[in-house]
Amino acid sequence: MSNHFYVTTPIYYVNDKPHIGHAYTTILADVLARYHRLLDVPTWFLTGTDEHGQKVQEAAVKNGMTPQEQCDTTVVRFQELWQKLEITHDDFIRTTEERHKTIVRKALQDLYDRGEIYGADYEGWYCTPCERFFMEKDLAEGGVCPDCKRAVNKLVEKNYFFRMGKYQQWLVEHIESHPEFIQPAHRRQETLGFLRQPLNDLCISRPKSRLSWGIELPFDANYVTYVWFDALMNYVTAVGYGADNGTFAKWWPASYHLIGKDILTTHTVYWPTMLKALGVELPRSIFAHGWWLVGRDKMSKTAGNAVNPMQMCEQYGVDAFRYFLLAEMSLGNDASFTEEAFTNRYNSDLANDLGNLGKRVISMVHRFLGGKFSAVVKPGPEEAELEKMTTIAVDSMKKHLASMQLERGIADALAAVREGNRYFDKMAPWALAKQGKTEELQRVLYSSAECLRIVSGLLYPVMPGKMAELRRALGLEGAEVEPHLETLGAWGGLPVGRALTDVPPLFPRIEKPEESPEAKKAAAEAAKAAKSAKKAEQTKASAPAIVELIEITDFTKVSLKTAKILAAEPVPDADKLLKLQIEIGAEKRQIVSGIAKFYTPEQLVGRTVVVVANLKPVVLRGVESQGMLLAAKAGKELRLVTLDGDLPSGAGVG
Ligand code: MSP
């Protein structure tokens, strides 16, 4: 662990109210900051708002306000949401603050004086919504904006440029020699791909005649600076760059800039080159997460499908909302938000698993042990599995925190809870009470409570409110309520002789309204689509550089189905091939597969596998094959893709 942890979110535009995309990045940063604080790592967490530029100016006009009024009104919505979501940022920077503007001007002047910024006539195409100029060659097919695909306008004007192009080779080398600099790996490839084209200088000015809402260039009062030059600087101006060297040295370089995948180029190309020109060290890592989709659709104001985080918190509670966002999104990939997915995860993980264990343990301690434990109990052979699972959970959380795979750490914490429930059922403390086996009863309840203490500690940064409640209910007091991650896993941490409090259910089940068949069908389709989207993203995630990335539409062309193997036999004169008779739902088919060296016919019959169901038939060694079996291969090993539970044949896979 490094000696400091400085994490940032993007600063949000104040042209509109926040949605779950904004909430997600901020919660993620909050959870990372909280974990690091619990590891005693000096931590600084910065968020804020991006208040200049076209978008904000336009919103102000639309709302009949001055731009500053637009900022002052909208910033409150972000600040209130962060309060509601229990975000523990150390600083909130607004780019209209003097502390920021002064330093941006200073940096601009410095770059201008050193010839890093120069004036020139510029002819190009301008995309108003993206606020970006493009050269003719950069436009997408049909002469539209390569980013948003909307129409662009031709412009010739004097502007100021930052000599970004000259840093191209240096940047490529930096990215290649610092694998952690851009994460996850497929985003690094994306930036390197972008850098295979010649890198132009960056236009960093906007004539005031077109856009007046910005920081004035210190060397030409007819211009304001480009909003991205202004915005990116927040990461350093907020921690004392150019103003307070001690503070700056304490926090810079940032450990993580968390961003959404749509602002990758600005962060991984513009920002590092700006820093290089300023002579400032680069951040350690830029982590781009995926998008929250609604079902399979992009969230947007026009579609009217944006999820309102405030409303979700009011309906289901802050902690459950935080938990869902972090547990559901595999960091780096897209994820799908539906109320259905939310309810399912809430009911299974929080109500049935965690809440249920909490309720059962605490109520039985009241019923059978007079509301307190009388001695610390050492785990015996019966507790070996439970202890193992909690140890795995602690190690996993630490490991996945470092590798930015929080969802995996969370999944292992939940696996420990499920083991807790299994242990509890197996040991049946109610029966031990009936039989008067007091010592065993103490052991079972104490051990189950230990599992809860450890898991509640692991999930504390994710659900600070509910986990504090649970920990207090278990008898932890004062400073003990906050877990210490280094010592959390040591068995026996629960103090004895403290009264456990009976708490109302932590996560009451969400009862789903009866659904119409149409609604059910639509939900199933949405879930299927989301699953395929996730899978396609995951495929992308593990794709090495040379593999071309595909669109989801490419992936959905492939029909994957579960199939049951009814019979298998060798193909004569072909020692690698087996002829399989399979069943895909009601349909019977024959497949020839090159797996004879890895499976005998006997091993295959009766198994449910996954097949590509829409391949054109081919004839192999004189035998027709009507599909393909999926298998994974590593070196000399081959394993069939099978299901981890029972499903009938003919089920869609995606
Ligand atoms: N102001 C710039 C960032 C400047 S940082 C120096 C900006 N602001 S934004 O408000 O439009 O977006 C902020 C972040 O929200 C971006 O990282 C963007 O990717 C993220 N999201 C917006 N919609 C999103 C989803 N639907 N899902 C996840 N995050 C998304 O860009």
Residue type, 114: R
Tell me the CA–centroid distance for residue 262 and ligand 1, in Å.
7
The answer to whether the beta carbons of residues 182 and 192 sit under 8 Å apart is: no
Q: In sequence order, which residues have a C-beta less than 8 Å from that of residue 70 and are 6 or more positions away?
A: 14, 15, 56, 59, 60, 63
Q: What is the Cα–Cα distance from 33 to 55, expressed in whole angstroms?
A: 30
Q: What is the Cα–Cα distance from 11 to 22, expressed in whole angstroms?
A: 9
Query: Where does the pLDDT of residue 545 fall: very low under 50, low under 70, confident under 90, or very high at 90 and above?
Result: very low
Q: Quote helix, strand, coil % in the chain, to nearest 5.
A: 45, 20, 35
| Position 542 pLDDT exceeds 60 | no
Strands, sheet with 202-203, edge to edge from the N-terminal-most edge strand: 132-134, 117-127, 153-162, 202-203
Terminal-residue alpha carbon distance, the chain? 38
For 6-44, write each residue's pLDDT tens digit: 999 999 999 989 999 999 999 999 999 999 999 999 999
Higher pLDDT, 562 or 131: 562
Q: What is the Cα–Cα distance from 379 to 365, expressed in whole angstroms?
A: 18
| Position 515 pLDDT exceeds 60 | no
Residue-level pLDDT at 543: 42
How many whole angstroms from its chain centre is CA 637? Answer: 32
Nearest atom within ligand 1 for CA of residue 19? 23
> How many Cα atoms occupy the beta-carbon half-sphere of 169 within 13 Å?
1
What HEC string does 606-628 produce?
CCEEEEECCCCCEEECCEEECCE
Look up tokens 């001690």; give the residue.
246
The answer to whether the beta carbons of residues 264 and 235 sit under 8 Å apart is: no
| Position 300 pLDDT exceeds 50 | yes
For 444-478, write each residue's pLDDT tens digit: 999 999 999 999 999 999 999 999 999 999 999 99
The answer to whether the beta carbons of residues 29 and 8 sit under 8 Å apart is: yes
CA distances from 477 to 429, 467, 472, 474, 501 (A): 26, 13, 6, 9, 12
- For the segment 92-103, the average pLDDT, to the nearest whole number, is 98
Look up tokens 């370089």; give the residue.
253
Q: CA Rg, the chain, in Å?
A: 29
Question: Whose alpha carbon is nearest atom 21 of ligand 1?
Answer: 21
Q: Helix (H, G, I), strand (E, B), or coil: what is residue 337?
A: strand
- For the segment 148-155, the average pLDDT, to the nearest whole number, is 90
Q: What is the Cα–Cα distance from 589 to 629, expressed in whole angstroms?
A: 12
Rounded to two decimals, the pTM is 0.78
Among the ranges given (85-89, 143-147, 237-241), the one the predictor scored with the smallest mean pLDDT: 143-147
How many whole angstroms from its chain centre is CA 174? Answer: 25
Beta-ladder partners of 220: 217
| Position 544 pLDDT exceeds 50 | no
> Is the link from the previous residue into 184 a cis peptide, with omega within 30 of 0?
yes
For residue 302, give the DSSP letter.
T
Tell me the CA–centroid distance for residue 452 and ligand 1, in Å.
36
Beta-ladder partners of 158: 121
For 269-286, write each residue's pLDDT tens digit: 999 999 999 999 999 999
Highest mean pLDDT: which range of 293-297, 526-530, 534-538: 293-297
Residue-level pLDDT at 546: 35
| Position 432 pLDDT exceeds 90 | yes
Q: Please indicate whether residue 241, judged by its CB atom, sits closer than 6 Å to ligand 1.
A: no
Residue type, 278: L
Query: Where does the pLDDT of residue 196 fall: very low under 50, low under 70, confident under 90, or very high at 90 and above?
Result: very high
Cα torsion 553, 555, 561, 567 to 10°: value is 140
Q: What is the Cα–Cα distance from 192 to 617, expressed in whole angstroms?
A: 40
Long-range contacts of the stretch 75-79 (C-beta < 8 A, 24+) = 75/14, 75/49, 75/51, 77/17, 77/18, 78/12, 78/14, 78/18, 78/22, 78/49
Q: What is the mean pLDDT of the chain?
A: 91
Structure tokens at 102: 């002064």
Q: Please indicate whether residue 312, judged by its CB atom, sits closer than 6 Å to ligand 1.
A: no
Q: Please indicate whether residue 21, judged by its CB atom, sits closer than 6 Å to ligand 1.
A: yes
Question: Whose alpha carbon is nearest atom 25 of ligand 1?
Answer: 21
Nearest atom within ligand 1 for CA of residue 261? 19
For 56-67, write each residue's pLDDT tens digit: 999 999 999 999
Tell me the CA–centroid distance for residue 136 and ligand 1, in Å.
27
Q: What is the Cα–Cα distance from 41 to 32, expressed in whole angstroms?
A: 11
Ligand 1 pocket test, candidate residues 9, 11, 12, 297, most atoms within 8 A of CB: 12
Q: Please indicate whether residue 409, judged by its CB atom, sits closer than 6 Å to ligand 1.
A: no
- For the segment 229-255, the average pLDDT, to the nearest whole number, is 98
